[in-house]
A = this chain, B = another copy of it.
Amino acid sequence: MSIDIDEIIKALAHPVRRDMLHWLKDPEKYFVEQEHPFEIGVCAGKFDQRTGLSQSTVSAHLATLQRAGLVTSQRVGQWNFFKRNEDTIQAFLRQIGDEL
């Protein structure tokens, strides 16, 4: 598994996407209850309300995070649940610490 520092940093270069990543660290704290347990991830729609942005914009942000490998998603029925990809995040922090 190799990470793309450039794509990751560009993904992080937007406050909303950093917020999203941060919120995913503690879903109970930042999101209202959902049908499925937070263990499988946070339902995409929850971010609409949290950010106040349109559904299409939120979808694009989540896609950007996913392309960078910072989150993974899982389809369950008609919903898409997102969770952090700790491996990539930690690998990024290590590598950026080295490169910088």
Tell me the A residues contacting B by CB distance below 8 Å: 6, 9-10, 12-13, 15, 18, 21-22, 89, 93, 96-97, 99-100
- Interfacial chain B residues near A13, Cβ < 8 Å: 9-10, 12-13
Q: Is the CB of A9 within 8 A of B6?
A: no
6 contacts between A and B (CB under 8 A): A12-B13, A12-B96, A13-B13, A22-B99, A93-B96, A93-B100
Q: Is the CB of A93 within 8 A of B99?
A: no
Chain B minimum-CB-distance residue to A19? B99
- Provide the bound-state CA to CA distance between A99 and B13, in Å: 13
Chain B minimum-CB-distance residue to A92? B100
* 12 extra interface residue pairs, beta carbon distance < 8 Å, beyond A9-B12, A13-B13, A18-B99: A6-B15, A9-B18, A10-B13, A12-B13, A21-B100, A22-B99, A22-B100, A89-B100, A93-B96, A93-B97, A93-B100, A96-B96
